[in-house]
Structure 1
Amino acid sequence: MKGERMGFFEYLFENYDLAIVELLNHLKIIAIALPIAIGVGVPIGIFVSRNKRLAGITLYLASVLMTVPSLALFGIMVVLLAPLKAGIGVIPAVIALVIYSLLPVIRNTVVAVGSVDRRMIEAARGMGMTNRQILFRISLPLTIPTIMAGVRNAAVMGVSVATIAYLIGARGLGYFIFAGLGRSRFGMIMLGAIMVSALGIGMNYGLLWLEEAITPKGLKIERGK
């Protein structure tokens, strides 16, 4: 290690292997939490969208959970999971990310399903389609862009929340920021901040590409028109 004033590029050159390891740790947390949030949030959004009162209560509860500060939520997870010997590390970080991701996923799913033209649904029923067929052949394809917007919000937010998860032993890119602050190391702080920012931007554009790939061609709107 050099002195306190080691520059960003010098620190990166000497610790690029550690940067890759912590990037993979960061991605592991998100890769576990995001699919769980989608797998839980989308079905809940579809189910409650049939009842406005139930949808309102569900969204209210999800918004209340989201207003809990991340450090406080991590602290709660540590206490609740301590008897199971899982209060420190990836598990509480994943649970916290899932909780934070539920609101944008559920909200966008409710909005998306509710925006489907009822005349299309009635026409499908008139053609003899079952509720399951209507859901998978009409409703979900029409709602992909809106649901994916919620998934993108959840993913980008998850990148930042996973950074704080370093404080409960989950590792990740938060190591460079918090350890750098503790040691007054400008290079470490800059490396962490730049990598977290780049990861957030990359996740957003990666999911935009996925959205473009899975959206039916007939529903795509050419940008710029």
Structure 2
Amino acid sequence: MALQVQIGEQKLDQEQLLSLLAKYQLLPRLAQEMIIDQAIATTPDLSCTQEEVKAAINLFVQQRQLKSEADIQNWLKKNGLAFDQLPAIASRPILLEKFKQQRWGDNLESYFVQRKSQLDRIIYSLLRTNDAGVAQELYFRILDDASLFPELAREYSKGPESQTGGLVGPVEMNVPHPAMIQILSSSQPGELKPPVKIGEWFVILRLEKSIPAQLDETMQQRLINEQFEQWLNQQVQEQLLIEHLE
């Protein structure tokens, strides 16, 4: 059965829809969804219980504020779907999460160890100026009295950190400039580092606190999603082929 979509007064056939998907750069998203469906369908022992499906449908209609069967029917019609497709659509996120867990759940510890140096967080104080002489003078003043850092940062620092008395963080270790990461990663809390030129700035740094990353439930979900996104993007690159036929 041929598919036709009408938007306003414009009727679109399948070829026109495909052309528009390409025009609006939506083909990669379509490919992602198809690859996800294929992965779910071909993964052994991947299913939802009746209770999970029922809960998924309830959540689905609540999220879309569908308060009656008429609302549900109208939503399905608007999206070109049939009522008997609702259980599969609603339970798809559950199956996707089960797929992620089955595919990447067992290697989380090793992946966490691999990523930990970037996931660890730090709080540090930063003061930057484009005047080498000023930077040197401020460094010795802070070295003489560590409590002056916030006051001097507010007065002299040229970046947004001046609004926080030089305090930055907590941020993950991959956030600061690479040269700053190198300095901070070899610092002890409370250790003031002499001015160093980074780009156009002369920078004074002091590590305030190190916060090691923990493989808690939130981190586990983040790392699973991270690996899933990497896999999905790679699959799209490998499988999506667009040809222009004359």
> Could you say whether these structures have the same fold, taking a TM-score greater than 0.5 normalized by the shorter chain as the test?
no
Whose RCO is larger (CA < 8 A, sep 6+)? Answer: 1
| Shorter-chain TM-score range | under 0.3
Higher helix share: 1
TM-score of the pair, normalised by structure 2:
0.25
